[in-house]
Amino acid sequence: MKVLCFGSLNIDYVYAVPHFVQRGETLSADTLQTFTGGKGLNQSIALARAGAEVWHAGAIGADGAFLADALQEAGVHTEHIETLPEVHTGHAIIQKSADGDNCILLYGGANQAVTPEQIDRTLAQFSADDLLVAQNEISALSHLLQRAKARGLRVALNPSPMDENLPTLLPLADYLLLNEIEASQLLRCDADSDPERMLAQLHKRYPDAMIVLTLGAQGALCTDGEAILRQSAIPVKAVDTTAAGDTFTGFFLAGLLEGQNAAQAMRFAAAAAAIAVTQPGAAPSIPTRKKVLSSGAFCDILAE
C-alpha cells in the first residue's frame, strides 16, 4: 500500500514574541528563525518518520527547492512535486509566545496554483486501497478528493483551515482528523463545548468515517461509531506547539497502516506529539519512529 500526501509546502518564518500582537500594536520580536513547514509537508515527514512509505505531491516556487530536499532527507518520495517559477512558494508568519503557544498567518502562493491536471497526473500513479492524506491548504481540493474516491483510494482528511466549502467534502473522508476549534466551527458551537458531545455530533453527520478529535493539552478522542477512545496528553514542558497536530496525524495514520488498533495508534501519536512540542520548529521537531518507540511514554507498544 502506498500513501500519497497531496498538500501544502511552506516556508515558515517564526518570530519569538513576548505575547501575540494586538490590534494597533507594534511589537518587537526577540528572534526570527526560518523553517520548512506547511501542513502537507509536516504530515508527510511525520508519516515517513513513523515508518510509512510516502509520496508527497504539491507545488513550490523557485525559492522552495529546499522544501523538497527536506522531504527527501526524511525518506519521502518527491517526484510529484512541481516547481512553478512564476509564483512564490507558500509561506507562514508564525508568532511563538513565551509559553510555547503560536498563532499563524498563511500565504498560499504555489499551494494555491495546484491544478486539476496536476492532480489527475499524480493520481494516475496510485490505485485502489492506497491512502490519500489531504488538508485544506491547496487549491482544487474538491477535485482531488472526488477523483481519489473514484479511483478507490481511502481518504484521510485534516480539514484545516476550516472554511465554508469543506462541509460538502467531509462525507468523502474515511478518516477525519480535526481539533476542537475546527469541530466547533463545523458544528457552529462554542469551542469549549463538551468534547464527547462534539464527537458524537460529528459521528452522526459522518457515520462512515473514523473520527479523531484532538484537544491539545486535554489529549484526544477517537470513535468509529462503536466506542469512544480517550487518550490523555503526555505532560511535557512545551517549547513550540507548531507541528503537534501534524505529528499526531502522521503517527496515528502510520500506526493504523502497520496494524496497530486505534487505541495503540492514539498512544503512538500522543507520544510523538509530546516529543515534538519540546523542540523548536515545525518539521524539524517531528521525532523518528525509533525515538518514539524508545520513549518512556510508548516503549511497551510492541509488546501489546
Q: Cα(176)–Cα(157) distance, rounded to whole angstroms?
A: 5
Q: Cα(74)–Cα(164) distance, rounded to whole angstroms?
A: 34
DSSP 170-181: GGG-SEEEEEHH
Active site residue: 120, 129, 246, 300, which one? 246
Q: Classify domain 3-8+39-87+111-293 at the CATH superfamily level.
A: Ribokinase (3.40.1190.20)
What pLDDT score does 299 carry? 53
What pLDDT score does 303 carry? 40
Instruction: Quote the percentage of the chain above a pLDDT of 70.
Output: 97
For helices 195-205 and 180-187, give the axis angle rounded to 10 degrees.
60
What pLDDT score does 238 carry? 86
Q: Is the dihedral of CA 167, 171, 172, 175 positive or negative?
A: positive
Q: Which grid coordinates are listed for 163?
A: 472554511
What pLDDT score does 298 carry? 59
Q: Do residues 156 and 137 make contact, with C-beta atoms less than 8 angstroms apart?
A: no
- Partners of residue 80 on adjacent β-strands: 57
What pLDDT score does 221 carry? 98
pLDDT in tens, 1-53: 899 999 999 998 989 999 999 999 999 999 999 989 899 999 999 999 999 99
Q: Which of 249, 258, 247 is nearest to 51 (CA)?
A: 258
In the residue annotation, 246 being an active-site residue is answered as yes
Q: Do residues 169 and 144 make contact, with C-beta atoms less than 8 angstroms apart?
A: no
- Partners of residue 153 on adjacent β-strands: none
What pLDDT score does 280 carry? 83
- Partners of residue 157 on adjacent β-strands: 134, 176
Q: Do residues 174 and 209 make contact, with C-beta atoms less than 8 angstroms apart?
A: yes
Mean pLDDT for each consecutive 10-residue tract of the chain (304 residues)? 96 93 95 92 98 98 96 98 96 88 89 98 97 97 98 97 91 97 94 92 96 95 93 90 92 97 95 93 90 74 42
